[in-house]
Structure 1
Amino acid sequence: MRTIKPVQMRSPVLTVRRVDTYHAITVVAPGVAERFRAGQFVAVAVGGDTSSMLARRAFFIHDVKPDYGGTVEFVFEVRGRGTSWLSECRSRDLLDVTGPLGRPFPLPRDPVNCVLVGDGHGASPLFPLAHTLRRRGCRVDFVLGAAGAQRVFGALAARRVGETATFATRDGSLGLRGRVTDALPQVIEDARADVVYGVGPLPVLRTVTAIAAKYGVPAQVAVEERMACGIGLCMTCVLPVVGDDGVTRMLRSCVDGPVFRGEQVRFDDVGTIPFDALGAPGWKARPDDSASTEIGQ
């Protein structure tokens, strides 16, 4: 895959709007928009020029448009000081934005049946993916969920873009009562899925991957990990991932991901350094292992 270098821009805010319980900010960032591929994210400085909040906040890109030379929209939930500050931004404010960052979703060469699974506002990067897949002649079926109806992101858009749209809420206020993964098996069967794309918290992606594997379907998952730098320096977003050579490596979600093949992520070992990971204490190379740092995706 050809690497496209990200850009850093002082981007004027075009709009800030509420989307149910979430916020969506659109910024003018032509350098980011023209390089974007579905699954990538932006890292945004928060707090203003004199803020003590040094770490950037990472957000999946939800939409890009040619308006004003190229606009980028990202969606977020207010969870702390940084996102609270962002929610108070207004039109014409300037944001320091770096992107697009990370590895995008891999795309099928031929038209196939694709199931897209998202939990909460984590579903936002699935929509540019869906448009790209549809342009390639693929069938797209959505499975979206959240705690309640107001927290399901993109329900109307999913109905419009997808062949079908299935919803699951834990309080039963929209669609099936339960988790998004409870609805997934039936959709995989009905759509005769060839591939599953998922975005959400790691426990959700673990179950999505297991269900897809049960049906013999590959899963491509975009992980929601906290990323302090977004460019691979701080090592706060590492995950144990098995390469095509069978060797586990601690990979950075921000540069080696955020999209991984689901079956290669060792979900049970997240938060630890497995004893058999490359470079772990006591790790020993196999006689035929060159200890290559390359990872197959």
Structure 2
Amino acid sequence: MISQKINRSAVQIDAEVISNKKVGPYHHMVFAVGQVAAACKPGNFVAISVGGSQSALILRRAFAIYRALDKGPMGGSIELVVAAHGEGSKWLCARNVGDFVDLVGPLGTAFGVPTTNANTMLIGGGYGSAPLFALAELLKNRGCRVDMVLGASTANKIYAPLEGKRSVSSLTLTTDDGSAGIHGQISEAIPRLIREYKTEVIYSCGPMGMLSAIAKIAEEFDISHQCSVEEAMACGIGVCMTCVVPIKHEDGIKMVRTCIDGPVMDGSEIIWDRKSVMDAL
């Protein structure tokens, strides 16, 4: 049954917008969610109904949880980092303080935390790096070394680099155009950093191309790699089948739904070369 695989803590609520601030090209939004916040873990996401009751935008939009606080002036809250790209995200970014949105969460799988004090590397691309900041705090509190690498096409698309620096042992920035940090794609810097920091576990969030490149590097170094997969999720609860990805299976290939089997998945299990999948089918 599909319902058995949905995050057991998930509930549907009307969440009040208590803050909406523009940060560079992104919106940092805070929602009052009450007891829901206590169930949120790094890697989880929420699905929000966008467009309003009279809109043709009938499908929900999925947003990774940036941070959850179970206590505060208005009780529990969650924070999201939203890029206003499509009509749904533009509608959400236009919400004012005091507005309410129909929200389901927390959904999906969370990042797994090492049982020992491991050397960890957190790799994020653009605003996709949002879930890594809460994870960095969790790992640091567990006694792990945390090295963070943030990359984007240009400097202003790297989200909250100063906050990242406060939460980690080291912070490395990369930009495709060289406007900040190392000039080049983020994956090009990873092998050297793995050797330098003696990395034992990699966590990554970002575009699928970046995740694929990181997965290949992790395999070459024989390092555990957990990645938050960015596939379009229309329902968030495993019904619509828009977010499937192929994984390795004892019978060959298995298609799984990233909204309930992910978004956090073992990078070594995902079949990143979609052409090889099509050839096998």
Cross-structure match for 2:145:
139
Q: How many angstroms apart in 2 are the aligned matches of 1:83 and 1:271? A: 33
Cross-structure match for 1:248:
253
Question: CA, structure 1 residues 79+70, in 2 after alignment: closer, same or farther (shift >3 Å)?
Answer: same
Cross-structure match for 1:38:
42
Q: How many angstroms apart in 1 are the aligned matches of 2:185 and 2:280? A: 33
Q: Report the CA distance between 1:246 and its aligned residue.
A: 5.9
Q: How many angstroms apart in 1 are the aligned matches of 2:276 and 2:152? A: 24
The one-letter code matched in structure 2 to 1:260 is: M
Q: How many angstroms apart in 2 are the aligned matches of 1:75 and 1:23? A: 6
Q: How many angstroms apart in 2 are the aligned matches of 1:251 and 1:235? A: 9
Alpha-carbon RMSD = 1.7
Checking the alignment, whether the CA contact within 8 Å between 2:7 and 2:108 is kept in structure 1 is no
Question: CA, structure 1 residues 140+32, in 2 after alignment: closer, same or farther (shift >3 Å)?
Answer: same
Q: Report the CA distance between 1:154 and its aligned residue.
A: 2.1
Q: Report the CA distance between 1:270 and its aligned residue.
A: 7.2
Cross-structure match for 2:271:
266
Structure 1 segments unaligned to the other structure (5+ residues) = 277-297
Question: CA, structure 1 residues 131+2, in 2 after alignment: closer, same or farther (shift >3 Å)?
Answer: farther
Residue by residue, what CA displacement relative to the aligned partner does 1:55-91 show, whole Å, maximum 9, x if unpaired?
1110000011221210001111111211111111100
- Kindly, what percent of the aligned residue pairs are identical? 37
The residue matched to 2:62 in structure 1 has which SS?
strand
Q: Report the CA distance between 1:3 and its aligned residue.
A: 5.3
Residue by residue, what CA displacement relative to the aligned partner does 1:85-107 show, whole Å, maximum 9, x if unpaired?
11111000001110000011111
Structure 2 segments unaligned to the other structure (5+ residues) = none
Q: How many angstroms apart in 2 are the aligned matches of 1:92 and 1:267? A: 42
More relative contact order in 1 or in 2 (CA 8 Å, sep 6+)? Answer: 2
1:9 is the counterpart of 2:7: no
Q: Report the CA distance between 1:248 and its aligned residue.
A: 2.1
Question: CA, structure 1 residues 185+246, in 2 after alignment: closer, same or farther (shift >3 Å)?
Answer: farther
Checking the alignment, whether the CA contact within 8 Å between 1:240 and 1:274 is kept in structure 2 is no
Length-normalised TM-score, structure 1? 0.89
Q: How many angstroms apart in 1 are the aligned matches of 2:7 and 2:63? A: 20
Cross-structure match for 1:180:
186
Cross-structure match for 2:125:
119
The residue matched to 2:280 in structure 1 has which SS?
coil
